[in-house]
Amino acid sequence: MSVPLTLLGLLERAPSHGYDLKRDYDAFFGRDRPLPFGQVYSTLARLARDGKVVVGEAEPGAGPDRKRYVITDSGVTEVETWLTSPVEPEPHLQTVLFAKVVLALMLGRPAEEYLDTQRAAHMRRMRELTEQRRTAAMVDALLADHGLFHLEADLRWIDLTAARLDALAREVNR
């Protein structure tokens, strides 16, 4: 999750105060990891420095929270570019697991057991997400689905690798 771009995207809806931005971020994207206030203001300061937002006049009542942030044309372009570019299509888990499996085979360790452990952890998470999705509002259900499909893809890779361990062992120990 890119915090600067997400905050910028929220600002494209309407100019906003730091506090409201944080509240919206947490409600939609933060979930179990709310955004610290410090990070909100430091991110907004950087966006202002880079010309992506401008800071309005402090409103009566003052305090750091009384400033309104407004997105610039350059900021809108940045959001647009981000939204239209595909996300790096490489799940990092697979490469970590891949390294573990290859190393295990090189060291004569039980790669299949490691894969089983990973499979069990994946299935446990899938059960949690399935249960969440059953009771959740649409936004949360879609997030849970995203997680489920990714975990499923990992599991397919785990199954495929498990089925090819013998051949893979021969290759890495050649």
Partner 1 sequence: MTGHGDARLTRKRVEARGAHTGPVIDARDVRLSFGRTPALRGASVAVKAGEVLAVMGPSGSGKSTLLHCLAGILVPDAGEIHIAGLRVDAMDDAGRSALRRDRFGFVFQFGQLVPELTVEENVALPLLLRGTRRAEALGAARAWFEPLELAGLERRRSGELSGGQAQRVALARGLVGRPEILFADEPTGSLDSLTGERVMELLTGAAREQGATVILVTHDPRVAAYADREVMVRDGVVHGLDGFDGPDGVDGRGFA
Contact status: 122 vs partner 1 (CB under 8 A): yes
Q: Please compute, for residue 102, the number of CA atoms within 13 A of its CA located in the half-sphere on the CB side.
A: 9
Q: Which residues contact 113 (CB under 8 A, 6 or more apart)?
A: none
- Whether the Cβ atoms of residue 122 and residue 107 lie closer than 8 Å to each other: no
**Distance in Å, CB of 118 to partner 1, minimum:** 10
- Whether the Cβ atoms of residue 23 and residue 63 lie closer than 8 Å to each other: no
How far does Cα 145 stand from its chain's mean position? 14
Name which position in 46, 109, 127, 164 contacts partner 1 (CB under 8 A).
127
Contact status: 124 vs partner 1 (CB under 8 A): yes
**Distance in Å, CB of 94 to partner 1, minimum:** 16
**Distance in Å, CB of 172 to partner 1, minimum:** 22
Detail the DSSP E strand segments found in 97-172. none
- Whether the Cβ atoms of residue 55 and residue 48 lie closer than 8 Å to each other: yes
Stretch near partner 1 under the rule CB under 8 A, chosen from 10-18, 59-67, 72-80, 112-120? 112-120
Instruction: Compose the 133-152 pattern: x for residues touching partner 1 by CB under 8 A, - for all others.
Output: -x-------------x--xx
Contacting positions for partner 1 (CB under 8 A): 116, 119-120, 122-124, 126-127, 129-130, 134, 148, 151-152, 155, 159, 163
